[in-house]
Structure 1
Amino acid sequence: MLNLFTKFGFNVIMGCDELPRKTKSKKKINTLKNFKHANEVYGICTIAFGLILLAAMQTRGAGQIGEWVRLLFMGLFSTVALIIPYIIVFLGILFFTNKSFSKVRNTIYFTMFFLCILVFKTLLDKTILDGLITLKLSELVSSSFAIGSEGIGGGLVGTLITSALVGLLGYYGSYIVVVATFIICTMLYTKTSLLQLLVNIKKILMKPIEMISFERKAKPKKETIKINIPSEPAETHINKVEQNIEEKIKILDYTDINSKASLVEAVEEPVLDAEELEEINEISTSKLQKQSSIQYILPETALLNQLEVTVNKDDRKNIQLKAKKLEDTLRNFGVQAKILQVNKGPTVTRFELQPDTGVKVSKIVNLSDDIALNLAAPAIRIEAPIPGKAAVGIEIPNDIVSMVTLREMIEQEAFSNSNLRLPFILGKDVSGSPIIGDIAQMPHLLIAGATGSGKSVCINTLILSILYRFTPESVRLLLIDPKVVELNQYNGVPHLLIPVVTDAKRATSALNWAVQEMIQRYKSFAENGVKDILGYNEKYKDNKMPYIVIIIDELADLMMVAPNDVEDAICRLAQMARAAGLHLIIATQRPSVDVITGIIKANIPSRIAFSVASQTDSRTILDMGGAEKLLGKGDMLYYPIGYNKPLRVQASFVSEKEVERVVTFIKEQLNPMYEEEVIDTISKNNTNMVNNEDIDELFDDALRVIVESNQASISMLQRRLKIGYNRAARLIDDMEARGYIGPHEGSKPRQVLIENVDIPSKEAR
């Protein structure tokens, strides 16, 4: 009726003195339906009516009509009628939000809420209700209306409903029915369960208490916080800094976490005499070497370069200014956030910020380019959120990159006293903490990155970690280097099973030997009733099996020569070799899907990504982007098995001269310990691959045709040799297996890998 009255009044104002009739007329009638702000008019009229009723109910200042309305509502509903004006005002506000309560269901819910309150209020006045129930109906109506007008009882409506309930169920039954009805209506209206309803009520009640406690905690301390800059790098400091915006940020410098030994300024290495050298060897042996029949002395750290540390006094001030600028940049783009902590690492500084409630994390991630522009940074990386923290990490490159040396990492207790089975050094994370990996837990590792990003240095660090920690009886190495020049310097080290393999065809035989060794070890485990190498070595402590670490420096070269054989061998080792103590470390500078195939990637769970050219290459390595934003020179993402997100690490650096000094030291104390049996087996397998008894009699002619035309295709052999398709295809496959031509590359022609002068004779094959 209220809406009808409002609509009729508005039509009169707009010039239509009556409601529109159902007559055919071409003239558009100027009614409320054609007015685009009709809801606002309804809202104003409804709110005005509610305020007039409120004035009449509360102050009796609405004139004679208002007094009549007040007496009517008070007589019907007693003091419960005081909430009716607020309901009407609330409905008027809903008109401005384009919401409507015209649905029958919502109307029923609000009516039931009102009646429950009315009946509950009436039940509370038990004495008055007992007196009214004894009266006749006519006397009950007049009496309840009269006392309701005075604000006593529940008015006429409340008395009639409550008296009926009390007569049927009694007082206690009436209370139960009223409360149950109210709860059910609330559940139906909010469409939530009772448990969730109670949880929401608890949150509403606890919110004021939490706000009060938060305000108490947020009161700033009156004490002035000093910024302590260490005069000596060896001291440990965790200092808090205070910015102009009166926000406290915790700044952690990676040099603060390092031990005292790793921060002493570099001095010229003294010349050691025989006695001092013997003492150093004894100390190294006592720390790291286990009981062994081979007199292998672990290398001392004096062979490695020492870290030269310089302290920049303006470092903390620059970090504060950069933090302030970062907050201002985010605020300019509508993101309210405060910086909680700053971690300064060797390469990047991570700002940990907490966005305000309601700020989407994706909004911060999408601002990476804008943040880099405002901070004049070459590239930034955003980690949202930081694993284990309610914060977003923004990693900004340092103006001056600090080097992480291998000597510094070896002297860390995390490596020297590690309980890991096969620990190796990686570097330091963004907070400056040392990162030590475990080859046995990985159990295989894929390393990929562009040229010059730090792969070879990482492999050298890994190999030296093994040489500094294990004897040749504990760990053996199988090095495959198709590039010839990267790992050749390790020839003669007693840890090597065989000399460094540089021939791609011989590398395939070496991988096949590793597969056979794995199978043989599993047979030994079964015969001795153990499951893995740990159980075997525990049972036979005097005749332990060594771990074998297979390192391939460039997978792409192997995949070009014999992709099928290499992929099969790698997959078999990756699937089964962990328990047998064989572990794969594979590196490549071409992270494309034809090199890192889906099968290889699925069986090698741990990955290291150095800087790459595109996000596509990053996804090939890590199944996610991020490596394209790395800075190069050892900056990497370490993603071992079990991690939810990759960890940013600055790899430790070791120079070629350092490697040469360590290798020379080891060679001088022990001769090479090559396994002649393994060498003979690999040579035999390589010969068998080449000398195939089922070679086609036209093989020499076909090879000569391919070399002379510099084109390898099945159709050409069919035409030139006048043979069928199947025979020509077998000839092409035989040439590929022997490394004379390259693999099939889709629509591209096969590459001829030999020249006319290189055609081997039958005896040579």
Structure 2
Amino acid sequence: MSSKTKKSTKGRKKRNNKPSEINKEVIGVIIVSFGLLLLYSMNTATSGILVKLIGEKSWQLLGSGGYLLPYVIIIIGILFLINKLDIYQTKKTVSIFIIFICLITLFDIKFLPTIDGLEISDRIRISMEASLLSFHRSGGILGAFFAYLFLKLFGVIGSYIILFTILTINILYVTNTSLIFLIQNILKSIISIYETIVSFLKNISNHTNTSKSRIKKKTNKSKTEENKTKNIIDKNETKIKDNKIKILDYTKNEYKDNDTFEIAEIEKPEKKNIESPKENTKKDNESENHNLDSIAVSENEYNDYEYPSLDILQKSDISSNKKENKIILNNAKKLEDILKNFGIEAQVTQISRGPTITRYELQPAPGIKVSRIVNLSDDIALGLASSDIRIEAPIPGKAAIGIEVPNIDKSTVNLRDVLETKEYSDLESKLSFALGKDIAGKPIVANIEKMPHLLIAGATGSGKSVCINTLITSILYKSKPDEVKLLMIDPKVVELSIYNGIPHLLIPVVTDPKKASFALNWAVQEMNKRYNLFAENSVRDIKSYNSKSQKDESMTRLPQIVVIIDELADLMMVSPGEVEDSICRLAQMARAAGIHLIVATQRPSVDIITGTIKANIPSRISFAVSSQADSRTILDMGGAEKLLGKGDLLFYPVGASKPKRLQGAYIDEKEVEKIVSFLKKDNAADYKEEIIENIDKDINTEFDDTDELLPSAIELIIDEGQASISYLQRKLKVGYSRAARIVDEMEERGIVGPHEGSKPRKVLVTREELDN
């Protein structure tokens, strides 16, 4: 029963809503009809008796207000029809009538602005007569009544002030609009009308001028128009909505010096041809003490050294795509429209088309916060139908915001394209390397001496290993083996082993993680030896020492050393303490000694790139990473997680305010093999046996730090044929912990097998093998 009653009440409620809506419409129709009838009666001379009577009485009562009353009534009726006004909303209705009364009172005060010697009845009589005889200029009976009261109380000026105040307050209440907003809209309307008139007059004058010029120069005009239409696509300046947009296309080498920052400094104006360099021969000098014989070099040893030819490398096939230019211009228009839809006024001032991405430089209107545009990154990507975008806000050195959008057709920047540039050939430093091209297509080269150490991070397949190959190859094209020596550490075995046998290597590529920590330790010892040598010769750095060695025959020139680590994570897993200590010491002090670090990893997490390592390696290169947390670890800011991979990188050198986005140079593995074969053909590897012996000696020293009972334990388990902790406890009369350590040491040396539960361990060597 209860459910039925609920349903019935709901039905009654729904049925009761319809008559109320119909009643409003009926009232609205009646009011509009009455207003039309009143308008007809007040503006028609020949009409019915009742209609004529209504018109006459309206003029007598309202005077000039009779013109307004029909329209006010019609507006109220329309508001009822569209459900914007309710019969119970008496406040707005009263306000409308107050506005009307204020207007007819003002009409009457203007008609007769005095009450001298008049009573209220005389004032009403004069206004009533004037409303019928003087073209309805007065305010009628109603206007005369209120005009007499206001003039009596406030005078003429005071009446105007009070009436206009009441009028303004009620208009604001009815329209529900701010006064400032209302004034602004009025001013905008006036300005737009003025601008429309001015532009119309200008168009008329321009039209007349062009028509005259067409009559005079008809044939010449047609030819010039044809030439203009052919050259529109090739021009770099295009207009969108009367706004000039400059397009910088990397395929046309249109970059300028102020478009990007200089990364490396030119130390000397002297230029050098990298294909066939010529240098003065120098006398063979004897090496100094302090065990520096292993790396001190004589310069005439490589006097006939031949650099690899650039013909080994491939050139990029760069061609301008006109279809791509049209897409870029359409995207610029879309970008402005997207921001306009969110209430942001901004203009695209310049477009820089790079090999992989295109940057649109936006100039927001005054008062627009940068954060509003940054927060719309997902909406902009959706509007442009792009996989992902990156926003640089603001662009360093410019009053603009950069919107970086991936290109549909991506281009490759080959290493040869950068090595052939003036930027690379002008750098005199032996540690200069080609990095790639920026968004505007400018070649970017860097100098490891100025960095002075570099940290590289990126996920698998992002281009990290290719970057290391371009770095090494650039050094090989710039330096002789006696000028720069390389110490490569590759725990992954397959990345850098291809360089084994080149004359620039100090020792073969280190692939054993345990040996790697000792190789880094050797670099620390070498640094200390060089500093002692500098102190004895009263010099501050390697550059001063080598310049002094040219005058002193007893001194031998020292080469610069670049330590390259490809995969720091593997080293940190094996011996984190020793590796971190060595890297930090080298990063803090090795610059002046001519030793530089290149550290790469595909795991830029805080346990691999520790705070101490980050603090001492200021220059960074980040390729695409998996998360924003990894980006913050390597760059101290987000952004690397939005890179596209395949060489797309952020370069953050020491001294820069923000990282710079580049497309890294690419070198194929076959090209690396050709360069290595060329170097090995005429120059044999000159490995320093002293360094290898020192590393092996350190490893053996570590193994010598063993338990004194280990030899006896080995003899026992070989005689027994099996090994267990309890057996060694009984025979050697030691505790469980010491016996367990002895078994673990034998397992590390490969003498016994791994743990097999309750079974004894297997013995893997025989007595003959042990004796040998």
Partner in structure 2 of residue 242 of structure 1: 239
Partner in structure 2 of residue 306 of structure 1: 315
Change (3 A) 1:661 1:68: same
Partner in structure 2 of residue 443 of structure 1: 452
1:490 Cα offset (Å): 1.0
1:545 Cα offset (Å): 2.2
Partner in structure 2 of residue 257 of structure 1: 253
Change (3 A) 1:561 1:313: same
1:593 Cα offset (Å): 2.0
Structure 2 residue 502 is the aligned partner of structure 1 residue 493: yes
Change (3 A) 1:571 1:342: same
User: For 1:557, which of 570, 574, 582 is the aligned residue?
Assistant: 570
Map residues 154-165 of structure 1 onto 2, 5 A cutoff: none
Structure 2 counterpart of 1:672, one-letter code: A
C-alpha distance in 1 between matches for 2:231 and 2:504:
46
Structure 2 residue 611 is the aligned partner of structure 1 residue 598: yes
C-alpha distance in 2 between matches for 1:441 and 1:677:
30
C-alpha distance in 1 between matches for 2:371 and 2:278:
48
C-alpha distance in 2 between matches for 1:361 and 1:286:
52
Change (3 A) 1:91 1:535: farther
Structure of larger gyration radius? 2
1:357 Cα offset (Å): 2.4
C-alpha distance in 2 between matches for 1:88 and 1:764:
117
Q: Deviations over 1:279-313 (max 9, x none)?
A: xxx95456686765322222121111122233323
CA contact (8 A) 1:56 1:69 kept: no
Map residues 18-417 of structure 1 onto 2, 5 A cutoff: 239-243=236-240, 245-257=241-253, 284=274, 293=300, 294-295=302-303, 296-417=305-426
1:86 Cα offset (Å): 10
CA contact (8 A) 2:491 2:566 kept: yes
Change (3 A) 1:83 1:573: farther
Structure 1 counterpart of 2:250, one-letter code: Y
Structure 2 residue 606 is the aligned partner of structure 1 residue 609: no
User: For 2:647, which of 619, 634, 646 is the aligned residue?
Assistant: 634
TM-score w.r.t. structure 1 length?
0.62
Q: Deviations over 1:550-570 (max 9, x none)?
A: 000111111111111111111
Change (3 A) 1:730 1:531: farther
Change (3 A) 1:688 1:576: same
1:242 Cα offset (Å): 2.5
Change (3 A) 1:242 1:230: closer
C-alpha distance in 1 between matches for 2:590 and 2:246:
46
Map residues 566-715 of structure 1 onto 2, 5 A cutoff: 566-692=579-705, 697=710
Change (3 A) 1:69 1:557: same
C-alpha distance in 2 between matches for 1:699 and 1:372:
72
SS in 1 for 2:450: coil
CA contact (8 A) 2:254 2:440 kept: no
C-alpha distance in 2 between matches for 1:70 and 1:760:
127
CA contact (8 A) 2:251 2:320 kept: no
CA contact (8 A) 2:620 2:634 kept: yes
TM-score w.r.t. structure 2 length?
0.62
User: For 1:480, which of 489, 493, 496 is the aligned residue?
Assistant: 489
Q: Which runs of 5+ in 2 are unaligned?
A: 1-88, 115-145, 177-190, 211-223, 256-271, 282-298, 718-724, 752-760
SS in 2 for 1:578: coil
Partner in structure 2 of residue 277 of structure 1: none
User: For 2:538, which of 502, 522, 529 is the aligned residue?
Assistant: 529
Structure 2 counterpart of 1:240, one-letter code: E
CA contact (8 A) 1:289 1:471 kept: no
CA contact (8 A) 2:640 2:650 kept: yes
Structure 2 counterpart of 1:518, one-letter code: M
CA contact (8 A) 1:562 1:739 kept: no
C-alpha distance in 1 between matches for 2:439 and 2:594:
32
CA contact (8 A) 2:248 2:254 kept: no
C-alpha distance in 2 between matches for 1:603 and 1:739:
39
Change (3 A) 1:760 1:674: farther
C-alpha distance in 1 between matches for 2:733 and 2:382:
66
CA contact (8 A) 1:515 1:573 kept: yes
C-alpha distance in 1 between matches for 2:316 and 2:400:
33
C-alpha distance in 1 between matches for 2:329 and 2:149:
69
Identity of aligned residues (%): 53
C-alpha distance in 2 between matches for 1:699 and 1:73:
123
1:732 Cα offset (Å): 11
Structure 2 counterpart of 1:629, one-letter code: K
C-alpha distance in 1 between matches for 2:764 and 2:335:
63
1:627 Cα offset (Å): 1.3
Q: Deviations over 1:243-272 (max 9, x none)?
A: 3x343211111111179xxxxxxxxxxxxx
C-alpha distance in 1 between matches for 2:90 and 2:276:
89
CA contact (8 A) 2:275 2:309 kept: no
SS in 2 for 1:502: coil
C-alpha distance in 2 between matches for 1:730 and 1:531:
49
SS in 2 for 1:586: strand
C-alpha distance in 2 between matches for 1:537 and 1:97:
86
C-alpha distance in 1 between matches for 2:385 and 2:440:
22
Q: Deviations over 1:574-606 (max 9, x none)?
A: 111112111110111122222222221222111
Q: Deviations over 1:346-375 (max 9, x none)?
A: 000111111222322222222222222222
1:90 Cα offset (Å): 10
Structure 2 counterpart of 1:247, one-letter code: N
C-alpha distance in 1 between matches for 2:394 and 2:583:
35
CA contact (8 A) 1:288 1:469 kept: no
CA contact (8 A) 2:430 2:484 kept: no
C-alpha distance in 2 between matches for 1:428 and 1:354:
25
SS in 2 for 1:314: helix
Shift >4 Å, 4+ stretches: 36-39, 59-74, 81-98, 219-231, 285-292, 693-701, 721-740, 755-765
Change (3 A) 1:676 1:332: same
1:544 Cα offset (Å): 2.9
Q: Deviations over 1:24-80 (max 9, x none)?
A: xxxxxxxxxxxx9999x99x999x99x999x999x9689567667777999xxxxxx
1:617 Cα offset (Å): 1.7
Structure 1 counterpart of 2:456, one-letter code: I
C-alpha distance in 1 between matches for 2:428 and 2:648:
27
CA contact (8 A) 2:389 2:642 kept: yes
Structure 2 counterpart of 1:632, one-letter code: G
Which deviates the most, 633-642 or 618-627? 618-627
Q: Deviations over 1:359-418 (max 9, x none)?
A: 222222222222222222221111111111111111111111111011111001100112
CA contact (8 A) 1:382 1:392 kept: yes
Partner in structure 2 of residue 452 of structure 1: 461
C-alpha distance in 2 between matches for 1:668 and 1:497:
18
Q: Deviations over 1:452-489 (max 9, x none)?
A: 11111100000011000111222111011111111111
C-alpha distance in 1 between matches for 2:156 and 2:736:
104
C-alpha distance in 1 between matches for 2:744 and 2:363:
60
C-alpha distance in 1 between matches for 2:589 and 2:572:
21
Q: Which runs of 5+ in 1 are unaligned?
A: 1-35, 75-80, 99-207, 232-236, 260-281, 705-713, 741-754
CA contact (8 A) 1:513 1:682 kept: yes
CA contact (8 A) 2:430 2:475 kept: no
